[in-house]
Structure 1
Amino acid sequence: MKIAVLGATGPTGIQVVEEALERGHDVIALVRNPDGLSDIKNEKLQVQKANIFKESDLSTHLEGCDAVLSCLGCQPGCMGCKRITFYEDTIKPITSAMRIANTKRLVCMSSQCAKRITGEPKIVTCFIRPCFFGNALKSMSAMETYLEEDCPDLDYTVVKPSELADDPSSGKPVTAVEGQWVPKGTLKIARRDVAKFMVDCIGNSDWFKKFVALDMTP
């Protein structure tokens, strides 16, 4: 398959690029700074500079792609910081560009508990939202709502990992649960395991139009 990866120079994006290449996929890494992938040498990798906020720029690169994998992220901000709109601001040009390029499959990253719903873990309600990641979670929630309400024509999967770790892959299948969080999870998952799941998702119709929480399998 031919895959476009957004956020390819980030710590999870690099893992996605490497995992896709290992499986023999053709990868187009769309990045702000191509030098960020200079260490990866593979004839199946193209590194292209692109503006993620411009659908006209993105659509040119998405022509002929079977799927878009997005690992885009920003600094989470904290209580009292300016409102974050990064996730809803980027998903709109991405999905518009996909329509122009006639690419329907999207796998993108969010986070567990992005949407505030009844019964969420107390650590999220009492600590994570008010003190650390609340502004980023609001923007992720807006992105998820946009996909759910405005993108019925696209086959999207929103991958929602717990805390990301730079550990090697566990070698085990991840715990994947439809919804906002994994009950009784370990609250930590290796980036490489997330990358493996995202690449697995490309051809898996079971996860079309789903929000999937991920955690490490104990």
Structure 2
Amino acid sequence: MKLSLFGATGRVGSHILANALQDGHEVTALIRSLVKLSQAPADGLHVSTGNVLQEADVALAIHGADAVISALGTDKSTTLSEGMPLIIKAMKQEGISRIITVGTAGILQSRVSPELLRYQSSESRQKLTRAAEEHHKAYTLLEQSGLDWTIVCPTYLPDGVYTGTYRVEANHLPVDGAQISVPDTAEFTYKQLFSMEHVRTRVGIAY
């Protein structure tokens, strides 16, 4: 499979990249600086240096891909909400329908106030909502895109260790879910490339 990966230098993205390369897939990773790439040169890895906010860079990174994964973070900026329209546009131009992204548990539905998202309700313990608002914008863009999207929504995300054992639930955070490690989040995100179970769904993930 040919995969276009955004956010490959981040915590979750770097693990997704390693998983894909280990399985023999061809990955084009759009990164801003080679210095940030922890992955050693490997067969199947194509590095495209550029910026997700530049339409031409995004189009080049997506060209020829079978699917797209975005592990872009909010990084105290609007990169996510500004970059997502460019990713969607490039995908449509290339005729690519499948995209998996990493979001946040804040954009899952609230159990205490079902008409609200978690970050909008008393269910969330986060006092600052800027990051969740960025992910909400990206979710809205994907929801309106017509693409086959899946948003993986981890709760508290320590680096942790790989366990391979976790709970997931469509559109909600699993009951009493408190945390999920980076490696387990990356594994589940990567596995969505080969599953249509959660298409056009937000998926909460936790232990």
One-letter amino acid of the counterpart of residue 179, structure 2: K
Mapped contact 1:60–1:101 kept (Cα < 8 A): no
C-alpha RMSD over aligned residues: 2.2
Query: Residue 24 of structure 2 aligns with which residue?
Result: 24
State the Cα distance separating 1:135 from its structure 2 match.
Answer: 0.9
Query: Residue 75 of structure 2 aligns with which residue?
Result: 75
Counterparts of 2:96 and 2:54, CA distance in 1:
16
Percent of counterpart pairs with the same letter?
26
Counterparts of 1:112 and 1:106, CA distance in 2:
18
1:138 to 114, 117, 133: 133
State the Cα distance separating 1:2 from its structure 2 match.
Answer: 0.8
How high is the TM-score relative to the length of structure 1? 0.84
Query: Residue 194 of structure 2 aligns with which residue?
Result: 203
SS in 2 for 1:202: helix
How high is the TM-score relative to the length of structure 2? 0.88
Unpaired runs of at least 5, structure 2: none
Q: 1:42 to 1:215 in 2, by over 3 A?
A: same
Unpaired runs of at least 5, structure 1: 77-83
Q: How does 1:1-218 map to 2 (within 5 A)?
A: 1-37=1-37, 39-75=39-75, 85-114=78-107, 117=110, 119=112, 125=122, 128-129=125-126, 131-132=127-128, 134-148=129-143, 150-152=144-146, 154-172=147-165, 174-185=166-177, 187-216=178-207
State the Cα distance separating 1:200 from its structure 2 match.
Answer: 0.7
Counterparts of 2:13 and 2:108, CA distance in 1:
23
Mapped contact 1:115–1:138 kept (Cα < 8 A): no
One-letter amino acid of the counterpart of residue 206, structure 1: E
